[in-house]
Amino acid sequence: MKQCDFIYGSEVIAQCQAQINFSDWDNNDPVKKYLLILKKPSNYFNCWAKLRNDVRCIILKSPKEVLPKEVLMKVGTDIDDMIKERKRVFLWAEIKGKVNHVSPRSRGHGKQQIKLKCNTYCARDFGISWVPD
């Protein structure tokens, strides 16, 4: 289980403590710079979400396509590769999934969880001034 800043898989599970709201992907959004790491066209994904508060994204199945070496050096694609982030993660997917509520094991708030069975890309939020290299 490797912690990454970016993950890409054909089946991904994502959890956070805030509500998960998907939006249609707008190619003009300022966060499209995160897609440069994956080397996919900005219209490759149909929807996206901003996951907030104690976020975990884990790959359950690796992508089916072969990715270039320069992408594999930056993006986790293996089963169990994950992002753990206290603040915010961006998530892009080919289709919207069904969001479920996960009850806490003890006290506290539950979490929102979604299991996406499609190509899904997650990126840790590095802030507005971040520039991909």
For 74-83, what is each residue's pLDDT tens digit? 999 999 999 9
Summarize pLDDT for 29-77 with one digit per residue, the tens: 778 899 999 998 888 999 999 999 999 999 999 999 999 999 999 999 9
Asked if residue 131 belongs to a domain, the reply is no
CA 46/CA 48 separation, integer angstroms = 7
Asked if residue 110 belongs to a domain, the reply is yes
Q: How many structural domains comprise the chain?
A: 1
pLDDT of residue 108: 59
CA 6/CA 132 separation, integer angstroms = 12
Asked if residue 133 belongs to a domain, the reply is no
103, pLDDT greater than 80: no
Asked if residue 132 belongs to a domain, the reply is no
CA 62/CA 132 separation, integer angstroms = 23
pLDDT band at 97 (very low <50, low <70, confident <90, very high): confident
CA 69/CA 90 separation, integer angstroms = 23
Task: Indicate yes or no: pTM above 0.85.
Answer: yes
Which domain covers residue 49, as residue numbers? Answer: 6-124
